[in-house]
Amino acid sequence: MLVTTTHVVEGKTIESYLGVVTGEAILGANIFRDMFAGIRDIIGGRSGAYEEVLRKARDAALDEMQAEARSKGGNAVVAVDIDYATVGQGSMLMVTCSGTAVVIR
């Protein structure tokens, strides 16, 4: 399935618009990873643990959105927007995505 942040797909024609589709994922970060991420933040560097959790949440949200598009008969999602937030005093990561399910030819 084609997923794009653009409103059109170059070289393709959008035959029908099937409506807004969404995906959400909320994942908790392990307390030990939180502790080590805090230490890494103090001494500098990237937090691989948080990056991995965030990547998994984004992939889950996008997969959910694509599944909803397929269930509506779509073969692409255009105008995709991805948002990130923390929930519960920063102990959980939330990723939401939305777009428009379409049929392209």
Residue 65 tokens, joined: 């959105």
Q: What is the pLDDT of residues 86-100, one digit of tens each?
A: 887 767 788 999 999
Q: Which of 59, 4, 56 is nearest to 30 (CA)?
A: 56
Residue position matching structure tokens 């949440």? 57
Task: Give this prediction's pTM.
Answer: 0.81
Partners of 94 in the β-ladder: 26, 85
Query: In this predicted structure, which of 9-23, 30-44, 62-76 has the lowest mean pLDDT?
Result: 30-44
Q: Using alpha carbons only, what angle is made at residue 72 by residues 70 and 74, rounded to the nearest 5 degrees?
A: 55
> Which strand (E) or helix (H) includes residue 65?
helix 48-71
Q: Which of 16, 46, 26, 35 is nearest to 97 (CA)?
A: 26
Confidence of residue 52 (pLDDT cuts 50, 70, 90): confident
